Amino acid sequence: MCSLALGADGGRGAVEEEEDLPGLSDSGDEASWEDAEDADLPHDKQQTPCLFCDRLFTSAEETFSHCKSEHQFNIDNMVHKHGLEFYGYIKLINFIRLKNPPVEYMNSIYNPVPWEKEEYLKPVLEDDLLLQFDVEDLYEPVSVPFSYPSGLSENTSVVEKLKHMEARALSAEAALAGAREDLQRMKTKYEQKVTEILYTKIHISSKIRLNKLEDTIMLIKGKIEEVRLPVEKVDVIISEWMGYFLLFESMLDSVLYAKNKYLAKGGSVYPDICTISLVAVSDMNKHADRITFWDDVYGFNMSCMKKAVIPEAVVEVLDPKTLISDPCSIKHIDCHTTCVSDLEFSSDFTLKITKTSLCTALAGYFDIYFEKNCHNKVVFSTGPQSTKTHWKQTVFLLEKPFSVKAGEALKGKITVHKNKKDPRSLIVTLTLDNSTQTYGLQ
């Protein structure tokens, strides 16, 4: 029995523009594997240059400390100022390496940032220690989806099928964080990594060797659409593909491709059920900070700026106290039966108002489930009333708040489709209270 695991980094998806990516190879050439081994050398044997001078350092922490004290460049401030997460941080580092901008310029940048292009995902320096730094260490800790291992370990009807073929598998907690129970029951595991930086960052091959799992886990580097597997079919596909608002970055497309090509009859995809929900929000303070703020900026009317601010969906953690309605599901996805075209959709919704107030925004979030053949169903939620996750919630601010009363039904319509210019991003259109607004999630 074989299982296929499609790799992702923290819910952030693969890059589609392959011409901008570093070359990938699935050849069996020993030299290429030896190069990969070299990438796993301990950090204390590697050095990386400062972003703004020629000084060399043996860790990202030392480099950033030097940048702060000697060049007045604070990476922590830069990351928080621009809300950078994994890909944004990678682009920032490569932008500085490639363009060599002065510190004064970097500190003066406001949105839009100049490193948005996908070309900045390609490493400028080989084995750049700064690209191996986990930018999320700069943020406060959040929940990670340990529902994945429990999704299998708590369901013996699924586990026993894998366990029957898995006498040799050992604990693999260090090899794939949080996946110990899954890997104890898997004969073979395939790992897709789309960019060189993802592969380098995780150092996954060294963790496999450390846990003596070379005969259990096989890594195949490349896009699932391009690599060739050594088997025709697999029995289980597991992937942590979710993006903001579930569908951002279009990684589910690759999972569905793998399902259609490699999943054996009767096989399973996990998570198998996913839902997207909306909820109404009332937060006049945040609305004032982001929208009405522009009506009077130090005595100047800059309300024209609202046209640029409102269409941008905001990814943030909501205070549960600001929720003023029950949630309403707007999309249900069964990964066993859905197809790529189903991922663009329109849905009418009705929100039951629970608190008389001013509605300032709608917020979206997703839940995922392990259900097929599972006697103990497992759910992982990114909702505002659940444990905080790095997916947070996606907030759609309204230009003009309107009054709602407890007990009434707030009806609307939402349309979600991919941006034709950038299929990784989403365009969301909301019709609510007799007005329509289009938002971008990018």
pLDDT tens digits, 234-271: 999 999 999 999 999 889 999 999 999 999 999 999 99
**pLDDT recorded at residue 146:** 55
Question: Does residue 160 carry a catalytic annotation?
Answer: no
Domains 3-13+143-270 and 273-441 alike in fold:
no
Task: Please provide the DSSP assignment of 91-128 as one string.
Answer: HHHHHHHHH---HHHHHH--SSPTT-SGGGGS-SSTT-
Structural class in CATH, domain 3-13+143-270? alpha beta
**pLDDT recorded at residue 155:** 61
CATH of domain 273-441: 2.70.160.11
**pLDDT recorded at residue 126:** 83
**pLDDT recorded at residue 365:** 98
Instruction: Output the pTM of the full model.
Output: 0.62
CB atoms within 10 A of CB 364: 26
pLDDT tens digits, 157-188: 555 555 544 433 333 333 334 444 444 444 33
Question: Does residue 173 carry a catalytic annotation?
Answer: no
Domains of the chain: which residue ranges? 3-13+143-270, 28-40+56-138, 273-441
**pLDDT recorded at residue 13:** 36
- Judging by DSSP bridges, how do beta strands 189-191 and 217-219 pair with one another? parallel
Residue ranges in the chain modelled with pLDDT below 50? 9-44, 164-201
Tell me which residue of 148, 225, 157 sits closest to 181, measured CA to CA: 148
CA 19 to chain centre: 22
**pLDDT recorded at residue 212:** 82
Q: Is 307 helix (H, G, I), strand (E, B) or coil?
A: helix
**pLDDT recorded at residue 153:** 59
**pLDDT recorded at residue 210:** 76
**pLDDT recorded at residue 346:** 97
Which one of 30, 240, 312, 316 is the catalytic residue?
Answer: 240
What b/e sequence results for 155-173 when a residue is b if at least 16 CB atoms lie within 10 Å of its CB, and e otherwise? beebbebbbebbeebeebe
Which one of 16, 181, 191, 249 is the catalytic residue?
Answer: 249
